[in-house]
Amino acid sequence: MPNSFRQGPDSRGRFGQFGGRFVAETLMPLILEVEAAYEASKTDQAFQDEWRRLLKDYVGRPSPLWSAERITAHVRKSAKPGKGAKIYFKRDELNHTGAHKINAVLGQILLAKKMGKTRIIAETGAGQHGVATATACALFDLPCTVFMGATDVERQQPNVFRMKLLGAEVRPVSAGAGTLKDAMNEALRYWVANVTDTYYCIGTVAGPHPYPMMVRDFQSVIGEEAKVQMQAAEGRLPDALVAAIGGGSNAMGLFYPFLDDPSVQMYGVEAAGRGIDTHEHAASLAKGRPGVLHGNRMYLLQDDDGQVQEAHSISAGLDYPGVGPEHSWLHEIGRVRYVSATDDDALDAFQLCSRLEGIIPALEPAHALAATMRLAVGMDADKILVMNMCGRGDKDIFTVAKLLGERL
């Protein structure tokens, strides 16, 4: 075991065997340029001040830490005496644009400006990262193109319209299953053709180095705040953290500041789709093996020939066959435990949270909530659990209504 879990990545962008820079030569010089610019920004006080100012006055940070008393009471009803941990939500769904994605987007857009880039591209699954990128581009007056799988365009119509309102161009990608993986392929292809003026704003902790590190660092504001807020609320560290995992950015942001606190257990929740033993899921860590896609080595859903398999999840944001390299590493060394929740689990948690807490969660954190409740039932009542409520569910109401047989 390493002395610290917070030393990665190494100079090659590796977390153990994971990560790296597996990109075509055309992109390589630009990737190195992004890395140099990012390293310089870390010690650039004006850059950091501007990012913090945007987080506070534009995004509305810090996001609150909410004691979810009715969910906690609900869990305790079915728990044995003395069991049922206290559940808190880290409320990143209250951010401007409705999800955690904006944290890293603002950092990256500031970086793109600093690098002199004049166009922004992004990929998006659920549309949250696309909306966040379109928002930041509106604010900074930069043209923005968002690549989105055709299937996701269909199931996330509200976010597609929001992006258009914000002045972004949305390009539907019909290759493959028309989901996040295909959107990322197409964004990378576009980038290769437009390297000189374009910055690729990646939404998750995946892609070639330095993206997994950079997005993690920007998202770590979530965990840093949670640590301070928990100290104020309970005078101690939480006992467990739970977050949903697609590529893994909201989870990495919550977990990273706590990685060296050994008393804090961590659970990443993968999307089990129609069931982890079916072929329709997005559980890359449970069912995949290490592979290389989108510029990095990570756990990947693939067949025996190394062909990438399509993922499935009710949640467009978790519908991805890979998982970021740092999660892949944390999984292998056992620092974080990765569990899963099915489409049905998420749908139940979505409705329960709406009724009990008055919070309509996005389908992504609904997965985390399903796992949170399962974990909390077995934990002692004096234990504390923090779940990242990483997005709000407005974008999902059409999908959910359809599944519940409601006509809107």
Partner 1 sequence: MSRIAARFASLKGTRGALITYLQAYDPDPATSLAILRGLPGAGADIIEVGMPFTDPMADGPSIQLAAQRALKSGATLSRTLALVRDFRAEETATPIVLMGYYNPILSYGVASFCVEAASSGVDGLIIVDVPPEEADEIEPDAKAQGLDLIRLVAPTTDDSRLPKVLAATSGFVYYVSILGITGTRSASRESMAAEIPRIRAHTDLPIVIGFGIRTPAQAAEAAGIGDGAAVGTALVDVLAGSLDEHGRAKSDTVRRVLDAVRALAEEIRR
Q: Which of 1, 3, 25, 45 binds partner 1 (CB under 8 A)?
A: 25
Check binding of 189 to partner 1 (CB under 8 A). yes
Closer residue to partner 1 (CB): 3 or 196: 196
Q: Segment contacting partner 1 (CB under 8 A): 23-31, 277-285, 341-349, 398-406?
A: 23-31
Considering CB under 8 A, how many residues would be counted as binding partner 1? 36
- Interface with partner 1, residue 149, by CB under 8 A: no
115 binds partner 1 (CB under 8 A): no
403 by Cβ neighbours in 10 Å (0-12 / 13-18 / 19+) ranks as: middle
Other Cβ atoms less than 10 A from the Cβ of 25: the count is 7
Minimum distance, C-beta of residue 285 to partner 1, in the bound complex (Å): 17
**Residue 378 binds partner 1 (CB under 8 A):** no
Nearer to partner 1, 29 or 81 (CB): 29
Tokens 């909201």, residue?
Answer: 250
**Judged by CB, which is closer to partner 1: 193, or 232?**
193
Is the separation of the CB atoms in 198 and 117 below 8 Å?
yes
Residue 35 vs 343, nearer CB to partner 1: 35
Contact between 195 and partner 1 (CB under 8 A)? yes
Distances (CA, A) of 165 to 131, 161, 170: 10, 6, 11
Binding of partner 1 by 300 (CB under 8 A): yes
Q: Binding of partner 1 at residue 183 (CB under 8 A)?
A: no
Strand partners, 199: 120
- The CB-of-313 to partner 1 minimum distance in angstroms stands at 19
Distances (CA, A) of 379 to 156, 331, 382, 383: 36, 22, 8, 7
Q: Is 305 in the site for partner 1 (CB under 8 A)?
A: yes
The reply to whether 30 sits near partner 1 by the rule CB under 8 A is yes
Closest approach of partner 1 to the CB of residue 189, in Å: 5
**Residue 284 interacting with partner 1 (CB under 8 A):** no
CA 57 – CA 8 distance, rounded (Å): 31
Q: Is residue 19 near partner 1 by the rule CB under 8 A?
A: no
- Alpha helices (H) in 235-296, listed in sequence order: 249-255, 284-287
Backbone angles phi, psi at 356, to 5 degrees: -85, -35
Please say whether the beta carbons of 136 and 105 come within 8 A. Answer: yes
Q: Provide the minimum distance between the beta carbon of 154 and partner 1 in the complex, in angstroms, as a whole number.
A: 21
Please choose, from the candidates 211, 175, 212, 210, the residue with its C-alpha nearest in 3D space to the C-alpha of residue 190.
175
Q: Select from 248, 295, 361, 391 the one that contacts partner 1 (CB under 8 A).
A: 295
Nearest residue (CB) to partner 1, 188 versus 371 = 188
The torsion of the CA quartet 381, 384, 389, 393, rounded to 10 degrees, works out to 10
CA triplet 58, 62, 68: central angle to 5 degrees? 125
- Which region holds residue 176: left if phi is over 0, alpha if psi is between -120 and 50, else beta? left
| Contact with partner 1 (CB under 8 A) among 134, 142, 241, 308 | 308
Using CA atoms, how far apart are residues 185 and 366, in angstroms rounded to an integer?
A: 27
Among 294, 331, 367, 392, binds partner 1 (CB under 8 A): 294
Q: Which residues form the interface with partner 1 (CB under 8 A)? A: 12, 20-30, 175-176, 181, 185, 188-189, 192-196, 290-295, 300, 302, 304-308
